[in-house]
Amino acid sequence: MTRTVYVNGEYLPEDEAKISIFDRGFLFADGVYEVTSVLGGKLIDFDGHAVRLERSLSELGMGHPITKEDLLEVHRELVRLNEIDEGMIYLQITRGAAADRDFAYPPEDTPQTIVLFTQSKPGLANSPMAQKGLKVISIEDQRWGRRDIKTVQLLYPSMGKMMAKAEGCDDAWMVEEGSVTEGTSNNAYIVKGDTIITRQLSNDILHGITRAAVLRFAREAQMKVEERAFTIDEAKDADEAFVTSASTFVMPVVEIDGAPVGTGKPGSVAARLREIYLEESIKKAV
Ligand code: PMP
């Protein structure tokens, strides 16, 4: 089955979808994105992603080329056309294509580019990785200073994943001024005793939609949550570690820089949060 994608108002087979070589997303990484997961053919946390998208656009002085209602409709139509049961929908909006390559932004009436496509991932909710746990390395955080905006400048995170792979690991946790900011594509947590610790919100990290939901569920389940920075040494000494993202939900981390975290096996707090997150989010899926 050929994948059907969405480009600027049209549903097209993927090999017929085109954007300009002058698109600022391509030339300047001048664009924002969202990834929403699909479980049982329904969208998880759609509202949170739509709200963050609007914020990212506003922070970069970009227009809002599509309403939330229309965006929901496009997501649902792509799920239907591509018969997605479990997987993800990727959405990207750029500042569009100017007449030439120019650092200055093009006129405000330049049409923005909107692209959405699906990725089918059968077994996403029952990922074997959740039983196994991730091995991570620590690397210096060399990204720009507005990590709260979900831009498509993903070269450094991509390099981080390759550095992890080169060491036989799954991912990298980035460190700035001695403390962990986040994973290359997820928010990072440790558990010490009965307390879940994760970095506080600021421009240093992406405000994860999964993070917000997981912390809410943790508090509702009377778990203690501390939002503060932590170091790699603290993480190595923790009882558990895990990450959250829209595409992996809650995923245990069992090794950091070659040292086992806790027992070296996925921990019970991460397992419980994964279960609660999946159960509650599926109930509210649209
Ligand atoms: N931090 C970074 C750097 C990310 O790329 C992501 C996922 N895109 C996250 C955190 C997790 O955010 P969310 O839960 O909204 O997917």
Indicate which atom in ligand 1 lies nearest the CA of residue 182: 1
Ligand 1 pocket test, candidate residues 34, 153, 186, most atoms within 8 A of CB:
186
Report whether residue 34 contacts ligand 1, using a CB cutoff of 6 Å.
no
pLDDT for res 142? 98
Q: Give the pLDDT band (50/70/90) at residue 1.
A: confident
From the list 42, 150, 192, 236, the catalytic residue is 150
Task: Give 162-174 pLDDT, tens digit per residue.
Answer: 999 999 999 999 9
150 is catalytic: yes
Atom index in ligand 1 nearest the CA of residue 206 equals 1
Q: Is the pLDDT of residue 86 over 90?
A: yes
* Domain 129-284: top CATH class: alpha beta
User: HSE (CB half, 13 Å, CA atoms) of 197?
Assistant: 21
What is the pLDDT, as a whole number, of residue 229? 98
Domain ranges of the chain: 4-122, 129-284
Percentage of the chain beyond pLDDT 70 is 100
Output the CA torsion sign for 14, 91, 36, 34: positive
CATH number belonging to the domain at 4-122, selected among 3.30.470.10, 3.90.1150.10, 3.40.50.300, 3.20.20.140: 3.30.470.10
- The mean per-residue pLDDT over the stretch 34-63 comes to 98
The model's pLDDT over 99-150, given as tens digits with 9 standing for 90+, comes to: 899 999 999 999 999 999 999 999 999 999 999 999 999 999 999 999 999 9
User: If pLDDT is split at 50, 70 and 90, which confidence band does 18 have?
Assistant: very high
Could you give the percent of the chain with pLDDT greater than 90? 99
Read off the pLDDT of residues 232-279 as tens digits, 9 standing for 90 and up.
Answer: 999 999 999 999 999 999 999 999 999 999 999 999 999 999 999 999
Decide: 182 in ligand 1 pocket, CB within 6 A: yes
88 lines ligand 1 (CB under 6 A): no
Q: Does the fold of domain 129-284 match that of domain 4-122? A: no
The alpha-helical segments, DSSP class H, found in the chain are: 24-28, 46-59, 68-81, 129-132, 155-166, 209-220, 232-236, 268-284
Q: What secondary structure, in 3-state letters, does 259-283 show?
A: EECCCCCCCHHHHHHHHHHHHHHHH
Q: Which atom of ligand 1 is nearest to the CA of 48?
A: 15
**Is 281 near ligand 1, meaning CB less than 6 Å away?**
no
Q: Is 82 in the pocket of ligand 1 (CB under 6 A)?
A: no
CA 50 to ligand 1 center in whole angstroms:
14
Residue with tokens 């650092």: 103
- Using CA positions, which residue lies closest to atom 10 of ligand 1? 186
Q: According to the model, what pLDDT value does residue 176 have? A: 98
- pTM (predicted TM-score): 0.97
Distance 100 CA to ligand 1 centre (A): 32
CB atoms within 10 A of CB 122: 10
8 A C-beta contact, residue 209 and residue 247: no
pLDDT at 197: 98
Q: 244 CB less than 6 Å from ligand 1? A: yes
Q: What is the mean pLDDT of the chain?
A: 97
Residue 181 Cβ inside 6 Å of ligand 1? The answer reads no
Question: What is the mean predicted confidence (pLDDT) over 150-165?
Answer: 98
Residue 277 CB neighbours (<10 A) = 21
